[in-house]
Amino acid sequence: MIMTYALLARYYDLENAEFDGDLDFWLGLADEADGPVLELGCGTGRVLLPLAHAGHAVTGVDNAPTMLERLHQRLRAAALDPAPTVLEADLGGFETSERFALAIAPFNTFMHLLTLEEQLRVLSRVRAALRQGATLALDVVNAGAAYASVEGGLHLERSFADGARTVQQFSTLTIDRASQRAEILYLYDSVGSEGVVQRLTVPLTLRYVFPGEMRLLLERCGFELRHLYGDYDLSAFSDDSPRMLAVAKAV
């Protein structure tokens, strides 16, 4: 994952500049928690910064130095007081004396954990960092809908500006249903005024999690699943939901 995001960091903020559809969901959870927030996979601060600007005490954890370098630049520019705490560490091995009221793993962060062992290790570490009764929220793709999707082919995801250059992001998907993994190849074609194309290729592997599996993982690590939403509007999870948002309580 570190190598993947070393490549993705160049375009990550540009391609996600207009994606804010989940922020009200995370801000609402933080308001309800009334205590410090732990963000897993904080990256360049897409979610961390709005939480901090809203007055929440936030600690972010990520193991991708290139992404964190951009986050630190944004934090210096924001001049927040107090500033969020940033830990460069593996999600299953971070160290902190803080005990949090809320832990969040936005937009597919949990899907980067590719084995059951790794998932259990991270959930157990997070549980140790939470207060009794604290909330954990995990945001992943609805595996059922993804499994029904058509594989192959090159799809245009989006276009965005990189200074004077135009970047087109394409992707191709292969699903290994036996291992619950998606192999995604992103292609970034950057075109300047001279018409010359520069291509960056970025491979990414994600692991799907099904609802029953999610419940068992959480229970194994000291959590009780309270809600399963299908999108950021808190709609009930169903077969055709785009997301699976698991909200659990530390017991």
Q: Which domains does the chain have, with CATH numbers?
A: 2-142+210-250 (3.40.50.150), 145-207 (2.20.25)
Q: What integer pLDDT is reported at residue 29 of this predicted model?
A: 98
Give the pLDDT of the chain (251 residues) as one tens digit per residue: 666 787 788 899 999 988 999 999 999 999 999 899 999 999 999 999 999 999 999 999 999 999 999 999 999 999 999 899 999 999 999 999 999 999 999 999 999 999 999 999 999 999 999 999 999 999 999 999 888 776 678 999 999 999 999 999 999 999 999 999 999 999 999 998 888 999 999 999 999 999 999 999 999 999 999 999 999 999 999 999 999 999 999 99
Beta strands in the chain (DSSP E): 37-40, 58-62, 85-88, 100-105, 130-141, 155-162, 165-176, 181-191, 197-207, 223-229, 243-250
Q: In whole angstroms, what separates CA 58 from the centre of its chain?
A: 16
- 74 Cβ contact partners less than 8 Å away, ≥ 6 residues apart: 44, 45, 49
Sheet with 165-176, side-by-side order of all strands: 155-162, 165-176, 181-191, 197-207
Q: What integer pLDDT is reported at residue 206 of this predicted model?
A: 96
Which two structure tokens, joined as six digits, stand for 184? 């995604």
* Triad 198, 152, 140: Cα angle to 5°: 90
Q: What integer pLDDT is reported at residue 77 of this predicted model?
A: 96
Q: What integer pLDDT is reported at residue 195 of this predicted model?
A: 86
Interatomic CA distance for residues 113 and 117, integer angstroms = 9
